[in-house]
Amino acid sequence: EAEVAQSPRYKITEKSQAVAFWCDPISGHATLYWYRQILGQGPELLVQFQDESVVDDSQLPKDRFSAERLKGVDSTLKIQPAELGDSAMYLCASSLRQGAGTEAFFGQGTRLTVV
């Protein structure tokens, strides 16, 4: 069964360092999402791509976070510099197309701890 692949699964970094996460969506899925999930809360959207274009990054802290999906396939989310408050699970998801009713498929996530 096709899955959304994320790496690494776990990452510990010191504050002020740079960190990057990678996501490979299900083949053929045009829409890709990055979500942040703080412990005990629901996922919150950071950025949404349609193919290689950003369609929503209104909640992305652009002073330190960046995301790209250069060829419209896999994607990288970067944080520089990391802060203690960035400790969370970072989830990547993909869906076949835009449109209400289309389910999103989630990866296993990257758990980031900033020390």
Partner 1 sequence: GDSVTQMEGPVTLSEEAFLTINCTYTATGYPSLFWYVQYPGEGLQLLLKATKADDKGSNKGFEATYRKETTSFHLEKGSVQVSDSAVYFCALSLTGNQFYFGTGTSLTVIP
Residues near partner 1, by CB under 8 A: 4, 6, 31, 33, 40-45, 48, 55-56, 91, 93, 95, 97-109, 111
CB of 80 to partner 1, least distance (A): 25
CB of 22 to partner 1, least distance (A): 15
Q: Closer to partner 1 at the Cβ: 61 or 81?
A: 61
CB of 16 to partner 1, least distance (A): 28
Nearer to partner 1, 12 or 18 (CB): 12
Q: Which is nearer to partner 1, 64 or 111 (CB)?
A: 111
Least gap, CB of 42 to partner 1 (angstroms)? 3
Q: Are 11 and 17 in contact (CB under 8 A)?
A: no
User: Judged by CB, which is closer to partner 1: 9, or 15?
Assistant: 9
Counts for the chain of helices (H) and strands (E), in that order:
0, 11
Burial (Cβ within 10 Å: 0-12, 13-18, ≥19) of residue 68:
middle
66 close to 72: Cβ distance less than 8 angstroms: no
Give the Cα-Cα-Cα angle 97, 47, 83 (nearest 5 degrees): 155
Give SS3 for 48.
Answer: strand
